[in-house]
């Protein structure tokens, strides 16, 4: 660590209590952060990490507790107050205006002006300096929606630096990044450390925490359950702290009985994203489709599912040629797709979990055009039990569930259809360890039932732990196949992915 | 129990606003009501029989006007049935009454009661009977009692409100569906005009004009509605197949529809329609409720069932709530959208036929600006313009809120220009109320665990 270690902590949150009607989200949480330190904040979804960071960011007001910066007590009544005190929170969903350029976004709300006009030259100069400080290059004139997720994240970080933030909170910053981009992010975080900035790093990926963090604080049910220097803790210990019970293994084992080919895709093509992809998944097999973001993985499965029109390619199920022109056709044929983006593509957030569950199943839950609501609720309730979905009732809005529970609702709606082929696109993104394990168990169970499972994942440990066979995509083509996933290594995959 | 109550409160907050408005206008229009006609006759007869025993000698005085002669006739019938002695029934002016009194005196009879309306009882001729006709006895003046009752709550007025709003409310059903899918339909006002003109022309040109039969009129009306449906299908096609924003497509169809209506009507009103054509718009059916209002209620019942119980309704909500998620869940998004725009246009067509029936003519000027009133009804009823949320009965309440405000202001003599200002304010207020409700509860997943527990209700179609 740095020379500032001896002085007072940069940030000290003490005894933070926050309750919402009916639930106590934080029950007296303590967190401290030194200048030039990276603190990992760990905990399952619902443990209170997000609430705590919203208190720090001024979005919520704590019921009681003290926030001190450099030993001075702070009262954050609004995000502006917090920002003025030097706190920047970078949420998972970025706060960028898609139509404005990187430069405009960085200075949004604090534009340098001269006689009432925005001093554009000054803006550009400062923005360039900021990116230089980060050691990266971003097109200052492109509207933000054209930038990649990683670049947008850089804009967020630059924005934080622009108002001299000294504490930067990053909520799941690596969730949407490729391995390559994550390592660049780490380099930037190292640079921030050197400049004396304290970073709170929230992530579910333990590998990353061991790489980047100096210290880790674990929350469970709104309380501190552990705080260790990273050097004095093992992966196993962290998992147990978070979950509150012993987990035998991150990836459950299973007996594999692989049958004849079930899903066969040949010569799939669409534009530049998918140039030539052939995939076959056998009964009882879990095949991982991996590669860098932008390699065409999601695009490929969307073609299989009929979500986008394909230019060429044949799709067969159990040897039968399918004429898939829309998701409706794919679903009718027995294919289910769990999309990467639950919020935008998987769920109708404003509607109840029961209605979301029912949506792809209405054909068999409807009689004479009328939805059989009791049957729908009963079916849903069955899955609540098997999947251990935590929702207050079947009428709870999907948007108010935690990420893991949202994913379980998405799972439930496809399980109820009893599809022959299930495609999981990043099934565990943003999901805590306990829920991840349950989803893995379920995937194994589905494979054991003879279903064909195609899984997209950017998390290499997950790919290695779950898949029977690995396909690596690069620029819209399958560049490699690893038949025996159990004995593969991350390096092997990376080599094929970069190809 | 309390949970259900609070759910009803948040779901149907507009009901309470509507109730408050009704209470307000009831108080504002609270005034003396004197019964007239048959009601007055019944009341006076009862009073006479109760106070003057078996056979009082009576003079009835009424003016020569429809409701007063009705009063006189009914009272006469009631009294003769009870055994009273009717010495004279005057239906005219004070001098007729004087003549009648003189005749009674000249015949040497005396009088117990003079029964009159509120006007005739005040005639001067009855004021000083003792001096003028000393031999007449001591007749007492009996007139209908007055009572206090709000003009607003008179049954005629309530039926009037329902009648005024029927067309807008019926069209608002389709608009609610369209808005729930996240779209908008600006063409409904023009389709009213087009449908009214088409129906009137079909009846005039092909069904025998004034001699048209019921079947002929039904066919003409149906044809007009169906043509509007085709226009809706066209709009839906442009929106789903070519992806043109609904606002633009229906704005264009608004101009097209209005233009066609003027062309077809050749700039004139078409009034060569049979008298029986008003049955739909003005006729009374079951329980003295106008047919148009009955039709409106039936359509709302059906639409509510569709939206809350049927697969199609679920699909409409899903498409508006998250189009992509709905598509990836196998919802036939394009078909669902087509349905919404066709339904909206069909109902607008139906509204046009009803309006033509109410006014017994077809004109291209009908329905001007109605799209805005219809949208206002939907929005005041709590349907979100961003789609995915809304309730059929909310829209009905919204339509009634607008009608009640207009009617109440008419009754309290508010100028029509002022009415527009007030109405604008009310629409804004209703939406403001709704948005405060949303931000208080929150539909944003990032709002924290409180929402998870509080907003555990489905605040749309489950009622």
pLDDT tens digits, A33-61: 999 999 999 887 667 888 899 999 988 89
pLDDT value for A245 = 59
How far is A371 from chain B, CA to nearest CA, in Å?
5
Residues 6+ apart with CB under 8 A from B243: none
What is the rounded radius of gyration, in angstroms, for the C-alpha atoms of chain A? 24
Q: What is the pLDDT of residue A88?
A: 92
Q: Are residues B277 and B354 both part of a single domain?
A: yes
Q: Which chain A residues are within 8 Å of B450, Cβ to Cβ?
A: 20-23, 25
Specify whether B98 is located in the same domain as B218.
no
Q: What pLDDT digit, counting tens, does each position of A76-127 carry?
A: 888 888 988 999 999 877 888 888 888 888 888 778 888 778 888 888 898 9
Q: What is the pLDDT of residue A308?
A: 93
B328 touches chain A (CB under 8 A): yes
Q: DSSP letters of A240-301?
A: HHHHSS--S-SS--------SEEEEEEEEEETTTEEEEEEEEETT-EEEEE-STTSSHHHHH
Flag whether B459 is in a domain.
no
- Classify the phi-psi angles of A418: left when phi > 0, otherwise alpha if psi is within -120 to 50, otherwise beta: left
pLDDT at B361: 93
Q: Which residues in A467-497 are b (16+ Cβ under 10 Å) and which e? A: bbbbbbbbebbbbbebeebeebeeebbbebb
Residues of chain A found within 8 Å of residue B6, distances taken between Cβ atoms: none
Calculate mean pLDDT across residues A129-134.
85
pLDDT of residue B212: 82
Q: Is residue B28 part of a domain?
A: no
- Give the domain CATH number at B56: 3.40.50.2300
Please give the pLDDT value at position B10.
60
Question: Taking phi first (over 0 means left), then psi (-120 to 50 degrees means alpha), and beta for anything else, what does residue A244 get?
Answer: left
Determine contact, residues A172/A426, Cβ cutoff 8 Å.
no
Mean pLDDT for the stretch of residues A242-260: 72
The DSSP line for A5-55 is GGS--SEEEEEEEEEETTEEEEEEEEEEE-TT-EEEEE--TTSSHHHHHHH
More confident residue, A273 or A460: A273
Confirm if A209 and A230 have CB atoms less than 8 A apart. yes
The confidence band for A285, taking pLDDT boundaries of 50, 70 and 90, is very high
- Quick one: pLDDT at residue B41? 82
Whole-complex ipTM: 0.71
Whether the CB of B445 is below 8 Å from some CB of chain A: the reply is yes
B401 located within any domain: yes
For chain A, list the domains and their CATH numbers: 3-243 (3.40.50.300), 261-498 (3.40.50.300)
Residues B323 and B350 in one domain: yes
Question: Does residue B367 share a domain with residue B274?
Answer: yes
At A249, the pLDDT band (50, 70, 90 cuts) reads: low
User: Best interface-test mutation with B: which of A89, A326, A351 has the largest number of B CBs within 10 A?
Assistant: A351
Mean pLDDT rounded to a whole number for chain A: 87
Check residue B11 and give its pLDDT.
61
Cα of A383 to nearest chain B Cα, Å: 18
Residue B247: inside a domain: yes
What average pLDDT does the segment A128-137 reach?
Answer: 84
Average pLDDT over residues A206-224: 90
Contact A349 B322 (CB under 8 A): yes
- Across the interface, of B328, B446, B455, the residue whose CB is closest to A337 is B328
Mean pLDDT confidence for A250-265: 84
pLDDT(A405) > 70 = yes
Q: Is the same domain home to B338 and B400?
A: yes
B210 domain-assigned:
yes
What's the confidence (pLDDT) of residue B443?
Answer: 38
Query: For A458-462, what is the mean pLDDT?
Result: 81
Instruction: Please check whether residues B238 and B305 belong to one and the same domain.
Output: yes
Among the candidates B114, B145, B176, a domain finishes at B145
Q: How many CB pairs under 8 A join A and B?
A: 141
Q: Are residues B190 and B121 in the same domain?
A: no
- Sign of the CA dihedral running B221, B227, B229, B235: negative
For B15, phi then psi, to 5°, come to: -60, -40
Is there a contact between A394 and A380 (Cβ–Cβ < 8 Å)? yes
B58 and B128, same structural domain?
yes
Give the residue on A whose Cα is nearest the Cα of B388. A350
pLDDT (0 to 100) of residue A316: 95
Domain that holds residue B353: 155-454
Q: Which of B145, B177, B203 is the last residue of a domain?
A: B145
The tally of domains found in chain B comes to 2
Q: Quick check: is B69 in a domain?
A: yes
- List of chain A residues whose C-beta atoms are within 8 Å of the C-beta of residue B446: 50, 91, 93
What pLDDT score does B9 carry?
A: 60
Residue B73 lies in a domain: yes
The chain A residue lying nearest B307, using CA atoms, is A370
Same domain, B102 and B125: yes
High-pLDDT (> 90) share of chain A, %: 41
Nearest one of B352, B402, B372, B360 to B269, comparing CA atoms? B360
Contact check, Cβ <8 Å, A344/B453: no
Q: How many CA atoms lie within 13 A of A185 on its CB side?
A: 28
Distance CA B128, CA B365 (A): 59
Examine the fold and report which residue of B145, B179, B210 is the final residue of a domain before the chain moves on.
B145
pLDDT tens-place values along chain B, 463 residues long = 455 665 666 666 778 888 888 888 888 888 877 777 777 888 888 888 888 776 788 888 888 888 888 888 888 888 888 778 888 888 888 888 888 888 888 888 888 888 888 888 888 888 877 777 877 777 888 888 887 888 888 878 888 888 889 999 999 999 999 999 999 999 999 999 999 999 999 999 998 878 888 899 999 999 999 999 999 999 999 999 999 999 999 999 999 999 999 999 998 899 889 988 888 888 887 777 889 999 999 999 999 999 998 999 999 999 999 999 999 999 999 999 999 999 999 999 999 999 999 999 999 999 999 999 999 999 988 898 888 889 999 999 999 999 998 898 888 888 888 888 988 988 888 778 767 765 444 333 333 333 333 333 333 333 3
Q: Report the relative pairing of strands A11-20 and A64-69 from DSSP bridges.
A: antiparallel
CB atoms within 10 A of CB A75: 12
Q: How confident is the model at residue A220 (pLDDT cuts 50, 70, 90)?
A: confident
The verdict on residue B30 lying in a domain is no
Are A23 and B453 in contact (CB < 8 Å)? yes
DSSP B144: P
Question: What pLDDT does residue B136 have?
Answer: 78
Structure-token match 């007449």, residue found: B136
Whole-prediction pTM value? 0.74
Neighbours of A66 (CB within 10 A): 14
Nearest CA-CA distance, residue A227 and chain B, Å: 24
Tell me: do B231 and B284 sit in the same domain.
Answer: yes
> Residues B439, B353: one domain?
yes
The C-alpha atoms of residue B170 and residue B296 are separated, in whole angstroms, by 6
At B271, which CATH number?
1.10.3470
Cβ separation of B454 and A93 shorter than 8 Å?
A: no
Query: Torsions phi, psi of A201, nearest 5?
Result: -115, 115
CB contact under 8 A, B332 and A351: no
Query: Of all helices (H) and strands (E), which one includes residue B191?
Result: helix B188-206
* Backbone torsion region of residue A71, taken as left when φ is above 0, otherwise alpha when ψ lies between -120 and 50, otherwise beta: left
**Cβ(A94)–Cβ(A148) under 8 Å?**
no
Which of A22, A351, A370 comes nearest B453 by C-beta? A22
**Contact (Cβ atoms closer than 8 angstroms) between residue A258 and residue A244:** no
Q: What angle do CA A68, A69, A71 make, to 5 degrees?
A: 70
A331 touches chain B (CB under 8 A): yes
Please check whether residues B173 and B126 belong to one and the same domain.
no
For the segment A423-439, the average pLDDT, to the nearest whole number, is 84
């Amino acid at each position: 660590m740095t020379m500032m270690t001896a002085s007072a902590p940069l940030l000290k949150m003490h005894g933070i209590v926050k309750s919402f009607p009916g639930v106590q989200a934080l029950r007296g949480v303590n967190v401290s952060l030194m200048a030039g330190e990276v603190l990992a904040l760990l905990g399952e979804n619902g443990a209170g990490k997000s609430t705590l960071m919203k208190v720090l960011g001024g979005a919520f007001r704590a019921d009681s507790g003290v926030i001190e910066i450099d030993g001075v007590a702070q009262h954050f009544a609004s995000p502006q107050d917090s920002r003025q005190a030097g706190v920047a929170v970078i949420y998972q969903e970025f706060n960028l205006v898609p139509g404005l350029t990187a430069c405009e976004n960085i200075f949004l709300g604090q534009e340098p002006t001269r006689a009432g006009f925005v001093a554009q030259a000054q803006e550009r100069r400062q923005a360039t300096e900021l990116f230089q400080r980060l050691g990266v290059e971003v097109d200052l004139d492109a509207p933000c929606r054209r930038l990649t997720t990683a670049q947008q994240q850089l804009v967020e970080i630059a924005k934080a630096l622009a108002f001299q933030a000294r504490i930067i909170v990053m909520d799941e910053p690596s969730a949407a990044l490729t391995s390559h981009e994550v390592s660049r992010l780490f380099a930037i975080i190292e640079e921030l450390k050197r400049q004396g900035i304290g970073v709170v790093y929230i992530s579910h990926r333990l590998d990353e925490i061991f790489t980047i963090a100096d210290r880790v604080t674990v929350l469970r049910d709104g309380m501190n359950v552990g705080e260790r220097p990273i050097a004095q803790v093992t992966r196993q210990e962290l998992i147990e702290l978070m979950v509150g019970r012993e987990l035998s293994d991150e990836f459950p084992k299973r007996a594999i009985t692989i049958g004849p080919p079930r899903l066969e895709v040949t010569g799939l093509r669409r534009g530049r994203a998918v140039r030539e992809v052939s995939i076959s998944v056998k009964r009882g097999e879990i095949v991982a489709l991996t590669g860098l973001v932008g390699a065409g993985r999601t695009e490929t499965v969307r073609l299989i599912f009929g979500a986008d029109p394909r230019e060429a390619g044949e799709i067969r199920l159990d040897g039968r040629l399918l004429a898939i022109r829309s998701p409706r056709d794919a679903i009718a044929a027995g294919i289910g797709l769990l999309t990467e983006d639950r919020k935008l593509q998987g769920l109708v957030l404003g509607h109840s979990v029961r209605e979301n569950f029912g949506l792809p199943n209405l054909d068999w839950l409807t009689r004479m055009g009328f939805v059989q609501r009791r049957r729908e609720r009963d079916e849903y309730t069955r899955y609540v039990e098997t999947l251990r979905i935590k929702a207050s009732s079947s009428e709870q809005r999907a948007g108010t569930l935690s990420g893991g529970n949202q994913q379980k609702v998405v799972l439930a709606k496809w399980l109820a259809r009893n599809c022959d082929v299930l495609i999981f696109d990043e099934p565990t993104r943003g999901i805590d360890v306990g829920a991840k394990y349950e989803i893995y168990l379920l995937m194994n169970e589905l494979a054991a039932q003879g279903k064909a499972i195609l899984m997209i994942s950017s998390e290499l440990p997950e790919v290695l732990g779950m898949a029977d066979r690995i396909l690596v995509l690069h620029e819209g083509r399958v560049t490699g196949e690893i038949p025996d996933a159990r004995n593969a290594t991350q390096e092997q995959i990376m080599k094929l992915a970069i190809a | 129990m309390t949970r259900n109550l609070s759910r009803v409160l948040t779901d149907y907050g507009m009901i309470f606003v509507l109730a408050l408005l009704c209470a307000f206008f009831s108080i504002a229009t609270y005034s003396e009501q004197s019964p007239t006609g048959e009601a007055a006759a019944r009341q006076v007869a009862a009073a006479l029989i109760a106070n003057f025993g078996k056979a009082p000698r009576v003079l009835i005085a009424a003016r020569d006007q429809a409701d007063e002669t009705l009063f006189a006739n009914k009272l006469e019938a009631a009294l003769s049935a009870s055994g009273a002695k009717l010495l004279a029934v005057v239906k005219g002016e004070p001098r007729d009454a004087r003549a009648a009194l003189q005749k009674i005196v000249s015949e040497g009879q005396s009088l117990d009661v003079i029964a009159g309306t509120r006007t005739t009882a005040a005639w001067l001729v009855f004021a000083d009977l003792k001096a003028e006709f000393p031999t007449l006895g001591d007749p007492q003046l009996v007139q209908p009692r007055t009572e206090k009752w709000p003009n607003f709550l008179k049954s005629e007025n309530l039926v009037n409100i329902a009648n005024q709003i029927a067309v807008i409310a019926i069209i608002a059903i389709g608009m609610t569906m369209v808005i729930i899918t996240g779209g908008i339909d600006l063409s409904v006002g023009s389709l009213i005009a087009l449908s009214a003109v088409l129906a009137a022309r079909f009846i005039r040109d092909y069904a025998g004009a004034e001699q048209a039969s019921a079947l002929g009129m039904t066919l003409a009306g149906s044809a007009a509605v169906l043509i509007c449906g085709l226009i809706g299908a066209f709009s839906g096609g442009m929106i789903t197949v070519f992806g043109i924003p609904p606002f633009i497509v229906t704005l264009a169809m608004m101009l097209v529809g209005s233009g066609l209506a003027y062309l077809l009507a050749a700039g004139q009103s078409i009034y060569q329609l049979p008298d029986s054509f008003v049955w739909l718009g003005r006729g009374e059916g079951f329980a003295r409720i106008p047919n148009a209002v009955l039709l409106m209620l039936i359509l709302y019942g059906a639409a509510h069932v569709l939206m809350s119980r049927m697969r199609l309704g679920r699909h409409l909500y899903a498409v508006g709530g998250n189009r992509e998620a709905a598509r990836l869940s196998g919802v036939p998004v394009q078909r669902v959208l087509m349905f919404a725009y066709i339904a909206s246009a069909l109902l607008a067509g139906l509204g046009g036929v009803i309006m033509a029936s109410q006014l017994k003519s077809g004109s291209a000027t009908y329905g001007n600006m109605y799209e805005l009133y219809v949208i206002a009804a939907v929005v005041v009823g709590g349907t979100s313009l961003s789609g995915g949320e809304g309730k059929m009965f909310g829209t009905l309440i919204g339509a009634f809120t607008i009608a009640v405000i207009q009617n109440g202001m008419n009754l309290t003599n508010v100028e029509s220009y002022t009415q527009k200002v007030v109405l604008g304010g009310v629409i804004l207020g209703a939406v403001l109320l709704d948005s405060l409700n949303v931000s208080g509860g929150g539909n944003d997943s990032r709002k924290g665990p409180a929402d998870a527990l509080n907003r555990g209700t489905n605040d749309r179609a489950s009622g």
